[in-house]
Amino acid sequence: MTRVAAIDCGTNSIRLLVADVDESGLRDVARTMEIVRLGAGVDRTGRLAPDALARTRAALAEYAALIESTGAERVRMVATSATRDASNADEFRAMVLATLGVPPEVVSGDEEARLSFAGAVRGLPPDAVGPFLVVDIGGGSTEFVLGSGGPAGTGDLAVRAAVSVDIGCVRMTERHLHGDPPTAAEVAAAEADIAAAVDRALEVVPGRQAATLVGLAGSVTTVTAIALGLPAYRPAQIHHARISRADVAKVTSELLAMTRAQRLAIPVMHPGRADVIGAGALVLRVIMEKVAATSVVASEHDILDGIAYSLVDRSLREG
């Protein structure tokens, strides 16, 4: 076993996993998340805002201390949609190197999809049969990847097709959902934008061929927690829960009809997700409709776990 530290810096959140890992599996040592909204305004300005960089720097300083205290031997930080889009990405990279001691890797959408797939599919329950369509609904983008693995997601992983499209929950909220709650016209505009992007994605990734849809990231796990009626956010109950398309549609409609204050009052809601969860749920609902999925398996394991695996599995690194 090798102790590694994996950091996933997305548009909305930054997360750390310290784990003991080899090619057969991983064991968590520490797993934590902060909502830093690094990509706030990037869709409009093309730049990372100073206050967003400051929030991210503060979170990274805490992570650096935790990595040192746990004795991680290898560290990899992956940055995704917001930093691919930003004109001042060099400023972000310099800040990360100074704070963390390693540079961030601003990965392509294809590698982001592969890492998400590896993290999600390894260890799936026996009733989750391939081929798998993994969808990772982030803040700035959503990744689609179709592939297969051995029984219950073990064995060799084979990615057939992958694509990243710009329909994340932060981006769709900033672009369309301005009301509190959003108006019917705003929701319709967001849905049309999402549907067009999903159609483009499915031209590259034949998602309708999948036997199992696996959903990743906070939008999916929060919708799952609401559908399950949990009194608090409980990862162990959310991980690998299977939620019907009808339940996803119901939760989506309810969230889009609520004010931000009402969403904040939901017991499972992270305060940093309350203003963007409606858009994230809408992305999930449209995907399920477009691929004719009757259910989605939620996974608490995602790109963060894939990054950890990549530190011991060279096949997961883009060559």
What pLDDT is recorded for position 164?
87
What pLDDT is recorded for position 63?
97
pLDDT mean over 79-86: 74
Give the pLDDT confidence of 207-259 residue by residue, as tens digits.
Answer: 999 999 999 989 999 999 999 999 999 999 999 999 999 999 999 999 999 99
Return all residues near 101 (Cβ < 8 A) that are at least 6 apart.
Answer: 64, 75
Indicate whether 319 pLDDT > 50.
no
Least confident segment among 124-133, 236-245, 308-317:
308-317
Give the pLDDT confidence of 262-276 residue by residue, as tens digits.
Answer: 999 999 999 989 999
The pTM of this model reads 0.81
pLDDT mean over 2-12: 91
3-state secondary structure of 31: strand
What pLDDT is recorded for position 155?
52
What pLDDT is recorded for position 313?
75
SS (H, E, C) 227-253: HHCCCCCCHHHHCCCEEEHHHHHHHHH
Q: Please name the fold of domain 125-299.
A: Nucleotidyltransferase; domain 5 (3.30.420)
What pLDDT is recorded for position 153?
47
What CATH number was assigned to the domain covering residues 2-109? 3.30.420.40
Domain ranges of the chain: 2-109, 125-299
Nearest-angstrom CA–CA distance, 174 and 180: 13
Percent of the chain with pLDDT over 90: 66
Same topology for domains 2-109 and 125-299, yes or no?
yes
